[in-house]
Amino acid sequence: MHKISVNGAVIAYDEAGAGSPVVLLHAGIADRRMWRGQLPALAARHRVIVPDLRGYGDSDLPSTPFAHHDDVAGLLDALDLPQAALVGCSFGGSVAIDTALAHPSRVSALALFGTALGGNEWSDETNDLWDDLVGEVDPDDFAAGAAGEVRFWVVGPGRQPADVDPGLLAFAQELDERALAAEKALGAVEVIDLTPPAIGRLGELRVPVLATAGAADVPDISRIADRIAAEVPGAVRLPNVPDAAHLLPLERPEAVNAALLDFLN
């Protein structure tokens, strides 16, 4: 693990390899450890940088206002990198898109796996699925909250927990408990959103874009990938990854690595 000062915060990151730079941005229910299956595979051809977003994992959280997308650009500054390809999952994908819109000269490509999207509102279908599968959870009970989120996001609505590797579920629970604690702390800090939000600005993106989702994820996630493919000029929409839900890079690293290496090269 390395640490570096970025916009007044100390950001933790892992790094390996040499070549064209690639930054991996983690999901909001995880931290940089979710990319453990990608770091060695990509490092054979690329300089791979895997940060914890501010407040998550081993990165700190000063009380000053900040924007995640500005931190990504600041990380590139601190590492003396003019430009990098950004790879994001879930919330990390949303941060990657926002960075490409706010700092277009700094991003060479976007690879988005089960991405979120700034300004998107969840459908009634997704809200009903949450009510059916999880229901009310005490926000201060991180273990219970993580168990609910793992059931919803990592297992997915069309599978049962018994269908998923128990080691993956245990690791996802650990990741999510820590992420929920981070989100609670972030709630006390002014986090600046991109304005206007990305959902109405996808046509502004002028870099190669790859989008896909897990076939077992909630349907809204596939719809976001479809929208990106429809509105971003030249975007590539890969078929959904079979038997994978929201943390598809962690659940199906071989398929994700193959897609990434092909896209980045």
How far, in whole angstroms, is CA 231 from its chain's centroid?
20
Residue 227 has pLDDT above 90, yes or no: yes
The mean pLDDT of 245-261, rounded to a whole number, is 97
Q: Are the C-beta atoms of 212 and 115 separated by less than 8 Å?
A: no
Question: Is the peptide bond between 104 and the residue preceding it cis, with omega within 30 degrees of 0?
Answer: no
CB atoms within 10 A of CB 162: 8
Q: Are the C-beta atoms of 10 and 60 separated by less than 8 Å?
A: yes
Residue 239 has pLDDT above 90, yes or no: yes
The mean pLDDT of 218-241, rounded to a whole number, is 97
Show the tokens assigned to 113: 């796996």
Note the pLDDT of residue 123.
Answer: 94
Q: Are the C-beta atoms of 83 and 106 separated by less than 8 Å?
A: yes
**Predicted TM-score of the model (pTM):** 0.96
pLDDT one-digit tens code per residue, 148-197: 999 999 999 999 999 999 999 999 999 999 999 999 999 999 999 999 99
Count the residues in the chain. 265
The mean pLDDT of 252-260, rounded to a whole number, is 97
Phi, psi (degrees; rounded to nearest 5) at 82: -65, -30
Note the pLDDT of residue 42.
Answer: 97
pLDDT one-digit tens code per residue, 64-123: 999 999 999 999 999 999 999 999 999 999 999 999 999 999 999 999 999 999 999 999
Dihedral angle computed from the Cα positions of residues 116, 226, 242 and 27, in that order, rounded to the nearest 10 degrees = -10
Dihedral angle computed from the Cα positions of residues 134, 135, 136 and 141, in that order, rounded to the nearest 10 degrees = -10
20 contact partners, CB below 8 Å, separation of at least 6: 45, 46, 47, 84, 85, 108, 264
DSSP reduced 3-state for 158: coil
Note the pLDDT of residue 135.
Answer: 83
Note the pLDDT of residue 86.
Answer: 98
The mean pLDDT of 134-145, rounded to a whole number, is 87
Residue 259 has pLDDT above 90, yes or no: yes
DSSP reduced 3-state for 185: helix
Q: Are the C-beta atoms of 51 and 69 separated by less than 8 Å?
A: no
Measured between alpha carbons, how far is 118 from 37 in angstroms, rounded to an integer?
27
DSSP 163: G
Residue 233 has pLDDT above 90, yes or no: yes
Note the pLDDT of residue 137.
Answer: 83
Would you give the end-to-end CA distance of the chain in angstroms? 27
pLDDT band at 256 (very low <50, low <70, confident <90, very high): very high
Show the tokens assigned to 120: 């998107």
Q: How large a percentage of the chain has pLDDT more than 70? A: 100
Residue 20 has pLDDT above 90, yes or no: yes
Residue 134 has pLDDT above 90, yes or no: no
pLDDT one-digit tens code per residue, 47-76: 999 999 999 999 999 999 999 999 999 999
Residue 133 has pLDDT above 90, yes or no: no
Task: Give the neighbor-by-neighbor strand order of the sheet with 236-237.
Answer: 2-6, 9-16, 46-51, 20-25, 84-89, 107-113, 209-212, 236-237
Note the pLDDT of residue 132.
Answer: 86
> What average pLDDT is seen over the chain?
96
